[in-house]
Amino acid sequence: MRVIPTKEGGSFFRNVRGEYWRAYDFIEGARTYQQVENPLHFYHSGRTFGQFQYLLSDFPAELLHETIERFHDTRKRFGDLLHVIKADPKGRVAGVQSEIAFILEREDETGVIVDLLNAGEIPLRVTHNDTKFNNIMIDDETGEGICVLDLDTVMPGSALYDFGDSIRFGASTAQEDEPNLSLVSLDLELFTEFTRGYLSMAQGFLNQVEIDHLAFAAKLMTLETGIRFLADYIDGDRYFRIERPEHNLDRARTQLKLVADMEEKMPIMEGIIRDILAGGLQEGSLGEGA
């Protein structure tokens, strides 16, 4: 996207109410989608997000402002959940014991990426931090990704956050708030297509530790989102906008169901990544064992 400068030459405008505005060229012949309708689109989504990270891979991420402090710190999100469980302001904890138990069993996993960052085993990178499929403009004719949208959460983070959240949102077989959990699973074809596209741009700058944790990151970002939805439900739906009673609970349950499915499919996911890196997985194939 090309930012249109203000009359004073700035990159944004602040009005008398303190609101910030930014203008871009209108993009013709392209659209966004709320759900993946064509696997080719998801391939190009992965390629576009990978290109976004590639173009910023040598930018000193520590110079960026952290728009939302500790946004993808899953250990912090886990701690926030424990706090709201203890407070139980709306008396909802008794009705979500199975969901709480599911999350508590996975406490040790919540700090994995944060600990890798703190230990310097994976680098701090410029990341988008909201890599849902609907934040990519898809060309109407070619199906290619035109540009990345929604840049307000661009800040320091891990490349794993962006990859994982893309899979969580785009490779699920159901909407994020689907009440029928039997419809919720990880679509391995979509996982493959996004990963092929992403690694076509990102393979050259990711280190081995990042590559080794790609599949895990998809699970962790899904778990983190489930934690956030459940915490907000227990807290009385204060953060996420809801359209019906127990909307956030439905959202939490879809995420936790997706986590469970990813756990079963983790060896296949890791095998797909190995096959792609080895050059043995082409468009439209899933690889041995899928």
Per-residue confidence of the chain (290 residues) as pLDDT tens digits?
788 999 999 999 999 999 999 998 888 999 999 889 899 999 999 999 999 999 999 999 888 888 878 888 999 999 999 999 999 999 999 999 999 999 999 999 999 999 999 999 999 999 999 898 999 999 999 999 988 988 888 999 999 999 999 999 999 999 999 999 999 999 999 999 999 999 999 999 999 999 999 999 999 999 999 999 999 999 999 999 999 999 999 999 999 999 999 999 999 999 999 999 998 555 444 333 33
Claim: this prediction has a pTM higher than 0.85: yes
Give the pLDDT score at 27: 87
Q: Cα 157–162–165 angle (5° rounding)?
A: 125
Contact 114, 256 (CB under 8 A): no
240, HSE (Cβ side, Cα atoms, 13 Å): 24
What does the pLDDT read at residue 12?
A: 92
Residue 233 is predicted with a pLDDT of 97
CA dihedral 192, 193, 197, 199 (to 10 degrees): 0
Terminal Cα distance for the chain, rounded: 38
Per-residue DSSP letter, 133: G
Residue type, 187: D
Domains of the chain: 30-277 (3.90.1200.10)
Q: Are strands 23-24 and 3-4 parallel, antiparallel or unpaired?
A: antiparallel
Which pair of structure tokens corresponds to residue 58? Answer: 């040598």
Give 222's contacts (C-beta < 8 A, 6+ positions apart): 164, 167, 168, 255, 258, 259, 262
Which pLDDT score is estimated for 72? 85
pLDDT of residue 219: 98
